[in-house]
Amino acid sequence: MLSRRQLFQWAAVSASAPFLTACSSSETKSDTIRVGVTSRPRMLDPRKATDALSSRVNRLIYRQLIDFNQSFEPVPELASWQVISPTHYRFTLNEFPPFHNGEKLTSEDVAATYGSVLKESFGSPHRGSLKHITAIEVVSESQVDFKLSRPDALFVGRLVIGILPKSLVDADHPFQLSPVGCGPCRFVSMTEQKLVLQRPDETQLVFMPVKDATVRVLKLRKGELDIIQNDLSPELVHYCDERQDLKALWHSGTSFGYIGFNFEDPLLSQLEVRQALAYGIDRQAIIDSVFSGHARLAGGLLVPEHWCGVPGLHGFDYRPEKARALVAAVKQKHPGLVNSDGLLEFSYKTSSDPTRIRLATIYQSQLREVGIHLKVQSYDWGTFYNDIKQGRFQLYSLAWVGVKSPDIFQYVFDSDAIPPKGANRGRYRDAEADRLIREAGETQSLAKQAELYRALQVHLQETLAVIPLWYEDQYAVTAETIRGYKMYADGRFDGLLNVTKAPRG
């Protein structure tokens, strides 16, 4: 099996051919791997991509300056770096791979890519995380300097945008419609029905949007698809796992599921009320029954193996008697908030996804046993997500997917990050959390940062900023003809670079 770097080198050899040859290779392709996805990737320009699907596809087309190891620490990819001062970083390219149009990547391309992201008129959603860059200076063909307005110990981990050719950046090339990178896969074509990329061995990777999960599974069984990764209900995954003509693969994941509170609600702002809700939900029973054990209890937003993770932090245990006692105390203090059935009542918003509705009904059943009634309200994704951003909820549930940098805490829990400034959707305000977040952001010691972020996660659990639920496993279902598909904790598609397909028997 080839490593990702070997595939880059292999792709570099083939990239010396004219760019348009990639588009004519469909007639001579040696094989095709068809991947079922929920929708077409929304953004193939890495400077503007934010959704998980687009980011995973873009990793195949483009290369970035740095990557992350298993502890989610930044490591060199295209370039290594030197910290000349707390506000001055020098990156040195380790290689000069050719882009798919034949041009050689140099530091000029790095500067042009990030320079375009920083232009306010361009409208990159990543501009905010790079706002402290004051200058990007090309030192030589292989070296480029980034100068900052203030120290930022997490700066290196922010440089994850795929590098584009300067000539095409300057020409306002439509990368969204015709991507040009130097990754292991070339762009071939894109329509509403499919996106086609080509590996160096001429195998084509075809991403086919199929919105309905059941239809995706049927197409997999009929041989119209080869791989489905995630986005199936637990029941469908179990169905696939039981079939001899399909294979289910699993890998521990990093997606953090949680239940959020509206801290501007007079009842939910009280810690004992949030504790009653947390103690009243049997998370392990849900993991065992709904996810068939393919998830693990969560405590902090970051997984325990993260360099800022907290081993042993696993959230609130199921303690129904404790929950009942807390509910009784609250009802005594607030008798007017008890409904006609003698229960505390809260509205709970979720999406119309069948699995999320099923989870909501389980929460509803479990909490009723401790004296709480959840009024479940489900909406299409757009309506639901807009309500959450606007603060129109009491309780809701979502997940953070693919988080690697601990600066997520500033974005999610800082008092100054209430939408539209950030994603503090619950309007959580806590002086100690703010202090820890800001002190961690100002220190230049990564060891000290890790200490502060661990203390922060313990504090967020103690104050119940959210109810941490679980880290759901990543999974894929493949046809029996697929060989060597590898899964990753963050759900990336890198396994497509080596996977093979045997002839159907």
**In terms of CATH architecture, what is 254-472?**
Roll (3.10)
User: Residue 451: which residues within 8 A CB-CB, separation 6 or more?
Assistant: none
* CA dist., res. 423 & res. 245, Å (int): 43
* HEC profile of 230-280: CCCCHHHHHHHHHCCCEEEEEEEEEEEEEEEECCCCCCCCCHHHHHHHHHC
CA distances in angstroms from 492 to 56, 268, 401, 485, listed in the order given: 5, 37, 11, 12
* CA dist., res. 233 & res. 228, Å (int): 12
Write down the pTM of the prediction: 0.85
Residue ranges per structural domain of the chain: 4-208, 254-472
Q: Count helices and strands (H / E) in the chain.
A: 15, 19
> 267, 255, 259: which is closest to 363 by C-alpha?
259
Classify strands 295-297 and 246-261 as parallel, antiparallel or unpaired. Answer: unpaired
Same fold, 4-208 and 254-472: no
* CA dist., res. 418 & res. 414, Å (int): 8
* CA dist., res. 308 & res. 195, Å (int): 37
Tens digit of each residue's pLDDT, the chain (505 residues):
555 555 555 555 444 444 333 333 333 344 899 999 999 898 999 999 988 899 999 999 999 999 999 999 999 999 999 999 999 999 999 999 999 999 999 999 999 999 999 999 999 989 988 989 999 999 999 999 999 999 999 999 999 999 999 999 999 999 999 999 999 999 999 999 999 999 999 999 999 999 999 999 999 999 999 999 999 988 899 999 999 999 999 999 999 999 999 999 999 999 999 999 999 999 999 999 999 999 999 999 999 999 999 999 999 999 999 999 999 999 988 887 788 888 999 999 999 988 999 999 999 999 999 999 999 999 998 999 999 999 999 999 999 988 899 999 999 999 999 998 889 999 999 999 999 999 998 898 999 999 999 999 999 999 999 999 999 999 999 999 999 999 999 999 999 999 999 887 6
Give the right CATH number for 4-208 from 3.90.76.10, 3.40.50.2000, 3.40.50.1100, 3.40.309.10.
3.90.76.10
190 in Cβ contact with 437 (< 8 Å): no
Task: Please give the structure tokens belonging to residue 182.
Answer: 């130097």
Please count the other Cβ atoms lying within 10 Å of the Cβ belonging to residue 128: 10
